[in-house]
Structure 1
Amino acid sequence: MKTCSALAFLFLGTAALVHAQASSPPAYVAHAISDNTRPAADKQVDNDRRPAALIAFAGIKPGDRVADVMPGGGYFTRLFSKVVGIKGHVYAVVPEAYASKAPPERLKSIRALAVDPAYSGNTSLLIRPYDRFDVGAPLDVVWTSQNYHDVYGAVSVFSVDGSTGPEQAANLDAAAFKALKPGGVFIIVDHAAAPGSGGRDAHTLHRIDPATVIAQAKAAGFVLEAQSDVLSNPQDGHDKPIFAPDIKGHTDKFVLKFRKPSSLAKAEP
């Protein structure tokens, strides 16, 4: 079996591969993770989701404006809210297509989070199409975790009539690029497919080849800065759906960090 991270060098160019480390996270990250307003269900999966390492890798810090795109139940949204603090803001961005097609209970948790006094002071819920999630101010970070394959694979509740999955994913990348400030960061975490498979398994196995994600993000104007192996799993053969009982919660995942070039500051209106 080959790991995503082992082959990623073929596509990273000069980008750095950041290995998982046991060093202590910044205090504001540690405080966010230990915050007593977090649901017990969130805390129970911290060992698998590795939030301290991921947030440190992304560089999210107090005062930042962060878009958590396709936030699910709000696992990372809650953490980001505590990290950015009262001087920052978190935008939970739900795709318009998903909001119109998904059963109402799928949005119950994120809607409740947005009005929860523990988070509502600096957290907003936004429903936006893939090609637009402006928030009225430049963002420091756009983040999406374990969702890109759904968009690319046109999984039913994520699909948009009249367009293909790859088009939707390209629109998401372009929207992230536009919404970020020059020098801003785009983080994509997802389940790895077999190297060379492209988007073949996005709809069926709910996996995607990181090389495909990299190519699309670069086409939108991003520069690939680094990749982390914090969520890699060499035992994953990339040949089973992510929901298979023997791999669920432990798939080989890639973590990509893209940056919007700072030199665009003068080129943008």
Structure 2
Amino acid sequence: MNKIKTLCGFCATVLISTSPLTQANELQQAVIGEHRTASYQARDEYRNPQQTLRFFDVKPDMTVVEISPGGGWYTEILAPYLKDNGKLIAAHFDPNSDVEYYQRSHKNFMQKVEANQDVYGKVEVSVFQPPQKLDFAPAGSADRVLTFRNVHNWYMRGAGEENLNKVFASFYKALKPGGVLGVVEHRLPGDRPAEDMEQSGYMHEAVVIKAAEHAGFKLAASSDINANSRDSADHPKGVWTLPPSLRLGEENRDHYLAIGESDRMTLKFVKPAQE
């Protein structure tokens, strides 16, 4: 443990925090843990969870919100990493939605959480169902808000950029000043028409940045951690042509497996410390 001594006027405060090496080891243990689903672990080579979470500077004593966790791919890593000293809020679909898919996804996630209390016992589950339900955490309470491969859904199911503006504003509201929004999203080449975002599952990086900045965020850094130069982002069934979905079944299966998962942007935004 490292001790950091901070002097302020006549008082001295001693802050205890884990060292970067200890944090890295804890994150690695969460990634390689036996609790993880085998098919999920097989995706690590494309999703690079250790590098991605380090890029977003996620520490084990933080309050982290995972937006729309789906089946819990990242939840399997974040839950044990944050369990002892932090908090994970899983902002999932509305279980009372009229959409059967949302109901089923939420039910499956809750079954996963309830089946392994040793790992997921401290996960808090809230509702995030844009554009109606956006208050997934108390205002100014989160150190990190993370979203993985979700932005296209909000764009496609809502009113395009108008819906994105509402979503990113909710992220801004939930974060503490100085907090970080981490975004991983399928990337559409900049020279492709905007219409391609409507059905393909790929997004222009400039559109994602614009929505974040509209909410008040500042782009702190971008990374090619999750880039894939083999992906042309031009497939018959959009991003779902590629693994793990493989919507074409056996048709050109080896070709799409050789490409791997999609080319992705990885963006780190910061809510200014002083507004």
Q: Identify if the C-alpha distance between structure 1 residues 199 and 32 changes in structure 2 by more than 3 Å, giving closer, same or farther.
A: farther
Output the CA distance in 2 between the equivalents of 1:98 and 1:71: 17
- Aligned residue in 2 for 1:267: none
Output the CA distance in 1 between the equivalents of 2:82 and 2:22: 18
- Report deviation, 1:41: 2.0
- Report deviation, 1:129: 3.6
Residues 87-102 of structure 1: pairs in structure 2 closer than 5 A: 87-96=85-94, 99-102=97-100
Q: Identify if the C-alpha distance between structure 1 residues 213 and 129 changes in structure 2 by more than 3 Å, giving closer, same or farther.
A: same
The runs of 5 or more residues in structure 1 that have no matched partner are 1-22, 265-269
The runs of 5 or more residues in structure 2 that have no matched partner are 1-20, 247-254
Percent identity of the aligned residues? 26
CA displacement, residues 80-116 of structure 1 (integer Å, 9 cap, x when unaligned):
1122222211111124499541424333431123323
Residues 226-245 of structure 1: pairs in structure 2 closer than 5 A: 226-240=221-235, 241-244=238-241, 245=246
- Structure 1 runs (4+) deviating above 3 angstroms are 95-100, 196-199, 245-249
- Aligned residue in 2 for 1:11: none
Q: Higher relative contact order at CA 8 Å, sep ≥6: structure 1 or structure 2?
A: 1
Residues 40-189 of structure 1: pairs in structure 2 closer than 5 A: 40-96=38-94, 99-103=97-101, 104-115=103-114, 116-130=116-130, 132-136=134-138, 138-154=141-157, 159=158, 164-189=159-184
- Alignment of 1:257 with 2:268, yes or no, is yes
Output the CA distance in 2 between the equivalents of 1:32 and 1:39: 12
Output the CA distance in 1 between the equivalents of 2:198 and 2:96: 16
TM-score, normalised relative to structure 2 = 0.78
- Report deviation, 1:253: 0.7
Contact 1:223 1:261 (C-alpha < 8 Å) held by counterparts: yes
Task: Pick the structure with greater CA Rg.
Answer: 2
**CA RMSD, 1 decimal:** 2.4
Output the CA distance in 2 between the equivalents of 1:50 and 1:24: 19
- Report deviation, 1:134: 4.0
SS in 2 for 1:110: helix
